[in-house]
């Protein structure tokens, strides 16, 4: 099947997980979601990633984000792996891990790349908004762990730009100045939307303090 693209509706599915049968769209509800895949259970890089995800629970929660992982191994193997993760990573994994032994979800999300492996899923991640649209995709090689600071940064950007007429510049972090989108040209509307004012570096590059910050 063709790869999923930004703006596509994230495929719905029902699959077994460490928290029982799970209907994906219903489970997401009105939340944002992060779905991320792992090549297999008991792999070292994935162990660190799942442990860090668990330790970042408060950061995801305050952004109204639910996290869900996937591996092609069965539920009982997931359970044993979670015990290892909790013990070695000083964490409590309390989010679901999908047991995709039949590769149903892996095929829906194009997670098996034959030139990398004919059986193991690649290390892909999807950020999904409350309308179930895919807003970000990142695919890492099996040897490289994810940067969770970047994942949280992008979620902050997506949520900010969803509700304000701004974009975020290179290396932006929450609290930094943002860019007024070029489509917004009406001077009076700009003054209303950005009462803190703005700096016009060029007619198309206009910087303003982050609008949802005091």
Same domain, residue pair 44 and 110:
yes
Q: CA–CA distance from 115 to each of 107, 132, 151 (Å)? A: 15, 29, 26
Is residue 120 over pLDDT 70? no
Q: Residue 157 domain-assigned? A: no
Average pLDDT of span 85-107 = 93
Q: What is the pLDDT of residues 38-51, one digit of tens each?
A: 878 899 999 999 99
Kindly state whether residues 53 and 120 are assigned to the same domain: yes
- The reply to whether 213 falls in a domain is no
**Structural domain contains residue 43:** yes
Tell whether 123 and 76 lie within a shared domain.
Answer: yes
The last residue of one of the domains, among 101, 116, 145, is 145
Residues 141, 168 share a domain: no
8 is a domain residue: no
Residue 66 vs residue 38, higher pLDDT: 66
Residue 214 counted as domain residue = no
Q: If DSSP codes are grouped into helix, strand and coil, which group holds residue 135?
A: strand
Do 181 and 137 share a domain, yes or no? Answer: no
Per residue in 134-153, pLDDT tens?
A: 999 998 887 888 999 999 99
Do both 39 and 128 map to the same domain? yes
In the annotation, is 46 catalytic?
Answer: yes
**Domain identity same for 187 and 119:** no
In angstroms, the Cα distances linking 70 to 27, 101, 146, 201 are: 15, 10, 15, 45
Interhelix angle 75-89/44-55, rounded to 10 degrees, is 70
Q: What is the chain's percent helix, strand, coil content, to nearest 5?
A: 30, 25, 45
Whole-structure pTM value: 0.90
Query: Annotated catalytic residue: which of 10, 28, 35, 46?
Result: 46
Range of the domain at 98: 14-145
Same domain, 183 and 121: no
> Which of 145, 174, 193 lies at the terminal end of a domain, its last residue?
145
Q: Over the stretch 71-90, which tens digit does the pLDDT of each residue have? A: 988 999 999 999 999 999 99
Considering the domain boundaries, does residue 101 fall inside one?
yes
Q: Provide the pLDDT for residue 114.
A: 46
């Amino acid at each position: 099947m063709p790869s999923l693209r930004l703006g596509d509706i994230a495929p719905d599915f029902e699959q077994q997980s460490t928290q029982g049968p799970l209907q994906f769209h219903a489970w997401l509800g009105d939340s944002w979601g992060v779905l991320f895949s792992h090549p297999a259970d008991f792999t070292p890089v994935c162990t660190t990633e799942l442990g860090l995800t668990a330790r970042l629970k408060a950061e995801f929660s305050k952004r109204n984000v639910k996290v869900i992982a996937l591996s092609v191994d069965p539920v009982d193997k997931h359970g044993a792996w979670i015990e290892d993760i909790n013990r070695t990573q000083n964490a409590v994994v309390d989010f679901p891990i999908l047991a995709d032994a039949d590769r149903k979800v892996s095929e829906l999300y194009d997670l098996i790349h034959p030139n990398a492996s004919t059986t193991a899923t690649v290390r892909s991640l999807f950020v999904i908004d409350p309308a179930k649209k895919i807003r970000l995709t990142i695919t890492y090689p099996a040897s490289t762990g994810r940067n969770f600071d970047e994942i949280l940064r992008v979620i902050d950007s997506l949520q900010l730009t969803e509700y304000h007429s701004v974009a975020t510049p290179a290396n932006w972090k929450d609290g930094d100045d943002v860019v007024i989108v070029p489509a917004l040209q009406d001077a009076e509307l700009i003054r209303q939307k950005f009462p803190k004012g703005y700096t016009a570096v060029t007619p198309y590059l206009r910087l303003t303090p982050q609008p949802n910050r005091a």
